[in-house]
Chain A
Amino acid sequence: MNEQQQRKVYHYLKNKKIENFVGVPDSTLKYFIDECLKNDNILITTREEEAIGIAAGMSLSKSNSLVFMQNAGFANSISTITSLIQLYEIPLIFLIGWRGYLSDDAPEHLKIGKIQPELLKIIGLKSQILTEKNWKVKCDWALNQLKEKKPCALVIRRMFHD
């Protein structure tokens, strides 16, 4: 997803009452994260699970939150997602950068990257892939999930090498 569209995603969600952007940086999401930084509306944590805990506390306070992370961090967080977010049905949007989407991505990403869609499916966390064409529709989908007090995930694929 290109720079301009990633920056737009931040403002779109912000205007739709997502108030908190909490997470661990990821290069696939760097323009989105940069936009959070520019607007001084970001909380960077030490680990993804910590970010999920903080965002859960904010959502319990009726302040909507998004948690951003790389899919490596998502894999770290599975138990937290199942035993906190899904167990209590705490409404949260996860924004996940998908490393290992390309089969020639860096080697450390290949194993988890290959099973990323299955991981989401197997824990029953509903997800959609954001692209330059569909992002508004998919953001609206996520916002509707929140209204129904359902956590969900938006995924951005890593389509380039650096």
Chain B
Amino acid sequence: MIRKEAVTIIGKSVGKNPIVSANGFMSRDLFETNDKESNFYMIGSMGLASSIGLGIALKNPKKQVFVFDGDGNILMNLGSLVTIGSLKPKNLVHIVFDNNSHESTGGQPTNSSQINLAKIAKTANYKIFVIQTKTKLISILKDIKKSQGPIFLLIKISTSKERSKRVSWNPKTIRDRVMKSL
């Protein structure tokens, strides 16, 4: 499974719920496959998607809030797992698309394959799911609709030459759309 396929499947399942997507190809894939008002496309501030998502989750307890993170991104802000794990927001679904690489900057390796990210998240009070296939992804997405978070989905994806277009909304428009939707 490549990231864009996983993003397409999850985007459909999320419905109108807010998504905060990490910078780089992650946001581009989401924009191309499932653009909507409640998507916060983080185009800079690498590492912070889960923190922004936490802020939104804490203030919108009735909405399930999704974070589309990358392995490079979460490794930059592992402290976020500590803060999320200590606050235990029931409505936060933290998804890490793990291709063991900084794909957006040319495919350089990360160290995500050298350690166990899911175990780290589990120790930090998340409910964890590790996903390798589309079938499993689809079935877990059904399950988590009723589950209490914080939920951590680690989706193993392969790298790909497929490139989505850049996010064409300007940042202030992204802000206004998200604020209107919340």
Nearest A-chain residue to B77, judged by Cβ: A50
Interface of B is mostly: helix
B77, A57: Cβ atoms closer than 8 Å: no
Of the candidate stretches A86-94, A99-107, A122-130, the one touching chain B is A86-94
Given A58-B55, A61-B182, A89-B175, residue A46 in contact with residue B48 (CB < 8 A): no
Which residues of chain B have C-beta atoms less than 8 A from A51's C-beta? 51
Is A79 within 8 A of B56, CB to CB?
no
Known pairs A60-B179, A60-B182, A88-B171; A49 contacts B47 (CB<8 A):
yes
> Which residues on A sit within 8 Å (CB–CB) of B53?
57
Complex-state Cα separation, A58 to B54, whole angstroms: 8
Partner of B44, one of A47, A58, A87, A89: A87
**Structural contact, B51 and A57, CB atoms closer than 8 A:** yes
Given contact pairs A54-B52, A57-B54, A79 touches B45 in the complex (Cβ within 8 A): yes
Q: Which residues of A contact B44 (CB under 8 A)?
A: 79-80, 82-84, 87
Contact of A161 with B by CB under 8 A: no
Question: Count the A-B residue pairs with Cβ separation under 8 angstroms: how many?
Answer: 104
How far apart sit A65 and B87, CA to CA, in the bound complex (Å)?
A: 18
- Write out the residue numbers on chain A whose beta carbons fall within 8 Å of the beta carbon of B83: 43, 45-46, 50, 54
**B residues in contact with A47, CB < 8 Å:** 77, 79
A47-B79, A61-B60, A88-B171 known; A53 and B55 CB under 8 Å?
Answer: yes
Check B52–A88 contact: CB distance below 8 A: no
Bound: A82/B46 CA distance, A: 12
Alpha-carbon gap, A82 to B50, bound state (A): 18
Contact flags A62-87 to B (C-beta < 8 A → 1, else 0):
11010000000000000110111001
- Complex-state Cα separation, A83 to B52, whole angstroms: 13
Asked, given contacts A45-B79, A46-B79, A87-B171, whether A61 binds B59 with beta carbons under 8 Å apart, the answer is yes
- Chain A interface secondary structure, helix, strand, loop or mixed? helix
Q: Is A29 engaged at the interface, CB distance under 8 Å to the other chain? A: no
**Residues of chain A having any CB pair with chain B under 8 Å:** 43, 45-47, 49-63, 65, 79-80, 82-84, 87-90
Partner of B43 from A49, A61, A87 at Cβ < 8 Å? A87
- Taken together as a complex, chains A and B put the C-alpha atoms of A24 and B144 apart, in Å, by 33
B178 within 8 A of A: yes
Can you name 7 extra interface pairs (CB under 8 A) apart from A53-B49, A63-B59?
Answer: A53-B48, A54-B54, A58-B55, A58-B59, A62-B182, A79-B44, A88-B175
Contact between chains at B48 and A52 (CB < 8 Å): yes
Whether B80 pairs with A60 at a CB distance below 8 angstroms is no
Instruction: State A122–B37 Cα separation when bound (angstroms).
Output: 33
A49 touches B48 (CB 8 A): yes
Interface centre among B42, B48, B50, B60 (most CB of A within 10 A): B48
